[in-house]
């Protein structure tokens, strides 16, 4: 399945108007990054479009969708809206017929990052952070880095995120630390 009008139309029934616009921005940004770094533009567009498909779901709805898999996640993660990422992977497969494992994994990792990310995983992670609708201190630097060197961009975004979480004394998930560590030793 590709990013046809049908996928876009169906997505509208899952997300708010603001989230839909963000998804379109992420899709186009991911396509640009994919072209720059030699991965499938079609897959990047699809992952970008569907990455937040579950973002507007309640925590209760997300837990129900995860079913028995909910036990795979820490109790803190289960009380976080970050749970929309693994739920989004399930929805992309179940409701949109996406079978590509790299697209699904990209959706699952787009909020936390993780170890051993593929180019497509990185493209979506970065695209979500820098899409044109984002307005915050640091996004211009991330945009500049994104098209210069995807790994430098990953290091910047992960560092930015960790600093923000530490300042808020918020939980930091192990997969984010693993992703950060991969870039800190380069």
Q: How far apart are CA 30 and CA 27, in angstroms?
A: 5
The pTM of the full predicted model, rounded to 2 decimals, is 0.94
Range of the structural domain that residue 63 is part of: 5-184
Q: Helix, strand or coil for residue 143?
A: helix
Residue 142 belongs to a domain with what CATH number?
Answer: 1.10.3210.10
For 133, residues 6+ apart whose C-beta sits below 8 A from its C-beta are 21, 22, 25
Cβ contact 54:148 at 8 Å: no
Structurally, the chain folds into a number of domains equal to: 1
Torsion of CA 111, 170, 172, 105, to 10 degrees: -20
Q: Which two tokens stand for residue 4?
A: 């046809």
pLDDT 10s per residue in the chain (186 long)? 445 558 999 999 999 999 999 999 999 999 999 999 999 999 999 999 999 999 999 999 999 999 988 888 888 888 888 999 999 999 999 999 999 999 999 999 999 999 999 999 999 999 999 999 999 999 999 999 999 999 999 999 999 999 999 999 999 999 999 999 998 877
């Amino acid at each position: 399945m590709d990013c046809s009008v049908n996928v876009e139309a169906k997505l509208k029934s899952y997300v708010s108007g603001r989230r839909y616009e963000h998804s379109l921005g992420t899709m186009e940004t991911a396509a640009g990054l994919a072209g720059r770094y030699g991965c499938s533009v079609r897959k990047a567009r699809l992952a970008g479009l569907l990455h937040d498909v579950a973002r507007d779901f309640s925590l209760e709805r997300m837990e129900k969708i995860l079913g028995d898999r909910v036990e795979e996640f820490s109790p803190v993660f289960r009380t976080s809206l970050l749970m929309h990422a693994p739920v989004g992977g399930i929805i992309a497969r179940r409701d949109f017929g996406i079978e590509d494992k790299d697209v699904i994994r990209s959706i699952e990792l787009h909020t936390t990052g993780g170890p051993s990310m593929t180019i497509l995983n990185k493209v979506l992670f970065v695209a979500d952070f820098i899409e044109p609708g984002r307005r915050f201190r640091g996004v211009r630097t991330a945009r500049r880095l994104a098209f210069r060197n995807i790994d430098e961009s990953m290091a910047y975004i992960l560092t930015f995120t960790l600093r923000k979480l530490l300042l808020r004394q918020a939980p930091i998930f192990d997969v984010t630390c693993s992703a950060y560590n991969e870039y800190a030793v380069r």
